[in-house]
């Protein structure tokens, strides 16, 4: 049985600490609805969260998925057995994000794709899309705004609780690792982070890393990641355009953008294989620039 740590971060709002890379999911005990934010990567942790809720006479009626990556939904199996079933809200691109990962998950587990598909927590309501108005969930006493924030993935959303000025950042806003864009887009993530920095956020519960507090601290942190993505892109552009770069291997360009200079003391180098994470983000930006139309312009 998994043990989880449940931390109250605002009145009736909790951050649940999961074991995959300082993962965080969330619980909101609303007056009319019990909301779960993400299902993390492991069913035993979700079961522990359900047990925690049951001790308080609760069961989730709503689930919000910040996006469809495995470490945020693969723990969802225990939710499938709930009666009545919770409404699972996600971005309209989440089903396709899940669909394209199924084969990989099945292979890793040695199971069939159909089997994994049946055990997966699929959205029942999807929101967002081009030009769609923002979506708000009303829990009876708390207003939860769902904000499409593409960049980490095309289907990323954050959940902002207005009354508590608290943001569940998913993997759009991380505090314990370098932002990951392997399945996303660096410019979109930079835009999303700059847009989010316009919100007053007293408490940030990230998808990975410690909870962060203080309007100015949170704003500076988000802008810091936006600037990181911009600085890396500028540096990569310079490398790609230099006359000696012709035919350079991508890895050689990545070598020119070191962790120390671009992430520095924002994060501890020795944790979570951090240098590899930074290199993966730089590498993605190299690929974006090499395959984009703006190189050499
Ligand atoms: Zn993710």
pLDDT, one tens digit per residue, over 90-135 is 999 999 999 999 999 999 999 999 999 999 999 999 998 776 777 9
pLDDT, one tens digit per residue, over 187-218 is 999 999 999 999 999 999 999 999 999 999 99
Full-model pTM: 0.94
CA distance 67 to 73: 8
pLDDT of 246 = 66
What does the block give as tokens for 101? 């990962």
pLDDT of 293 = 52
Q: 183 alpha carbon to ligand 1 midpoint, in Å?
A: 8
pLDDT at 163 over 90: yes
Q: 171 alpha carbon to ligand 1 midpoint, in Å?
A: 5
For the chain, the average pLDDT equals 93
Q: Where are the domains of the chain?
A: 5-226, 232-291
Angle at 155 between CA 53 and CA 258, to 5 degrees: 100
pLDDT of 294 = 54
pLDDT of 247 = 66
What does the block give as tokens for 232? 């890396």
pLDDT at 297 over 80: no
Q: 113 alpha carbon to ligand 1 midpoint, in Å?
A: 21
DSSP secondary structure letter of residue 134: P
Q: 72 alpha carbon to ligand 1 midpoint, in Å?
A: 7
Q: 242 alpha carbon to ligand 1 midpoint, in Å?
A: 33
pLDDT, one tens digit per residue, over 242-295 is 777 666 788 888 999 999 999 998 999 989 999 999 999 999 999 999 888 554
pLDDT at 146 over 60: yes
Q: 223 alpha carbon to ligand 1 midpoint, in Å?
A: 20
Beta-bridged to residue 29, according to DSSP, are: 34
pLDDT, one tens digit per residue, over 61-81 is 999 999 999 999 999 999 999
Instruction: Give the CATH H-level superfamily of domain 5-226.
Output: Ribonuclease Z/Hydroxyacylglutathione hydrolase-like (3.60.15.10)
pLDDT of 241 = 81
Q: 294 alpha carbon to ligand 1 midpoint, in Å?
A: 27
Order of all β-strands in the sheet with 143-148: 135-138, 143-148, 157-161, 166-170, 203-206, 212-213
In three-state secondary structure terms, 17 is strand
Is residue 9 within 8 A of residue 166, CB to CB? The reply is: yes
Task: Give the relative orientation of helices 186-196 and 274-291 as an angle to the nearest 10 degrees.
Answer: 110
CA distance 234 to 27: 39
Q: Where are the beta strands (DSSP E) in 41-110?
A: 62-64, 87-91
């Amino acid at each position: 049985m998994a043990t989880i740590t449940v931390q109250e971060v605002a009145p009736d709002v909790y951050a649940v600490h999961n074991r995959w890379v300082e993962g965080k999911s969330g619980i909101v005990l609303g007056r009319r609805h019990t909301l779960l934010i993400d299902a993390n990567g492991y069913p035993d942790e979700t079961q522990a969260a359900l047990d925690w809720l049951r001790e308080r006479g609760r069961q989730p009626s709503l689930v919000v998925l910040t996006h469809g990556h495995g470490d945020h939904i693969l723990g969802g199996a225990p939710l499938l057995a709930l009666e009545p079933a919770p409404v699972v809200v996600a971005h309209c691109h989440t089903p396709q994000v899940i669909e394209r990962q199924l084969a990989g998950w099945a292979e890793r587990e040695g199971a069939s794709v159909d089997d994994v598909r049946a055990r997966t927590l699929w959205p029942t309501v999807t929101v967002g899309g081009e030009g769609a108005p923002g979506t708000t969930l009303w829990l009876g006493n708390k207003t939860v705004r769902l904000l499409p924030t593409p960049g980490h993935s095309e289907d990323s959303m954050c959940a902002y609780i207005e009354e508590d000025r608290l943001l569940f950042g998913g993997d759009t806003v991380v505090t314990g690792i370098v932002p990951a864009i392997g399945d996303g887009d660096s410019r979109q993530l930079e835009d999303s982070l700059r847009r989010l920095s316009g919100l007053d956020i007293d408490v940030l519960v990230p998808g990975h890393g410690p909870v962060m507090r203080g309007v100015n601290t949170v704003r500076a942190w988000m802008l810091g990641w936006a600037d990181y993505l911009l600085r890396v892109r500028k540096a990569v552009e310079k490398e790609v355009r230099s006359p000696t770069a012709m035919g350079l291997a991508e890895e050689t360009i990545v070598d020119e953008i070191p962790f120390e200079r671009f992430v520095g003391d924002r994060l501890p180098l020795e944790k979570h294989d951090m240098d590899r994470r930074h290199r993966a983000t730089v590498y993605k930006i190299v690929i974006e620039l090499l395959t984009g139309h703006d190189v050499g312009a």
